[in-house]
């Protein structure tokens, strides 16, 4: 520190963050965009069944809940507008990077083929329209985990109820840009 302070034009920043092996902190992810900078945190939130809000008439079974929690861990690592179809602890369909969530669900259904029957679905952000839930029903999805928070949440909940699906809200979005 003494040597560094002797140099001209040196700026030192002090941080309270622990750096090194074994340290954990929420990293800021930055991406340049025209006219600015997008800054978001890397979500490290651990979610348990008690943290979830069941919003449909049917609650997930224990087996569905385990699969939903695994799907939630997985979907946070997939790029923007992503949905993941999971059976037990195995991804059977992934759709991502599309302009619309329904297109991501359609791609996941196509990629998964017959394996999607009886799967659960995780979405990295809320459904802006019910069509994503309807697409999940075509794939044979039985339960959905998503953040919630859309002005049309009631429509997506109604769609899930119409299809006999369970749906839970996390209250936390893990959308990656």
- In a 10 Å sphere around its CB, with 0-12 CB exposed, 13-18 middle and 19+ buried, how is residue 99 labelled? exposed
User: How far apart are alpha carbons 153 and 125 in whole angstroms?
Assistant: 12
pLDDT tens per residue across span 113-145: 999 999 999 999 999 999 999 999 999 999 999
Sketch out the chain's domains with CATH numbers.
Answer: 2-8+13-40 (no CATH), 46-169 (3.40.140.20)
pLDDT tens per residue across span 51-97: 999 999 999 999 999 999 999 999 988 888 899 999 999 999 999 98
pLDDT at 43 over 60: no
Residues ≥6 apart with Cβ < 8 Å to 96: 78, 79, 80, 81, 82, 83, 104, 107
User: How far apart are alpha carbons 121 and 75 in whole angstroms?
Assistant: 9
Residues ≥6 apart with Cβ < 8 Å to 90: none
User: How far apart are alpha carbons 74 and 174 in whole angstroms?
Assistant: 10
To which H or E segment does residue 33 belong?
A: strand 28-33
Instruction: Give me the mean pLDDT over the 40-46 stretch.
Output: 64
């Amino acid at each position: 520190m003494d040597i560094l302070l002797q140099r001209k034009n040196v700026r030192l920043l002090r941080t309270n963050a622990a750096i090194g092996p074994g340290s954990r902190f929420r990293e800021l992810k930055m991406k340049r965009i025209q006219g600015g900078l997008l800054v978001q945190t890397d979500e490290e939130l651990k979610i348990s069944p008690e943290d979830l809000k069941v919003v449909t008439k049917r609650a997930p079974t224990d087996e569905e809940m385990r699969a939903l929690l695994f799907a939630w861990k997985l979907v946070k690592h997939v790029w923007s507008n992503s949905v993941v179809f999971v059976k037990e602890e195995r991804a059977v369909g992934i759709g991502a990077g599309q302009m619309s969530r329904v297109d991501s669900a359609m791609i996941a259904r196509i990629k998964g083929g017959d394996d999607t029957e009886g799967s659960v679905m995780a979405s990295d952000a809320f459904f802006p329209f019910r069509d994503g839930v309807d697409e999940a029903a075509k794939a044979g999805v039985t339960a959905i985990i998503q953040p919630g928070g859309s002005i049309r949440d009631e429509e997506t909940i109604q769609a899930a109820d119409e299809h006999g699906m369970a749906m839970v809200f996390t209250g936390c979005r893990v959308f990656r840009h």
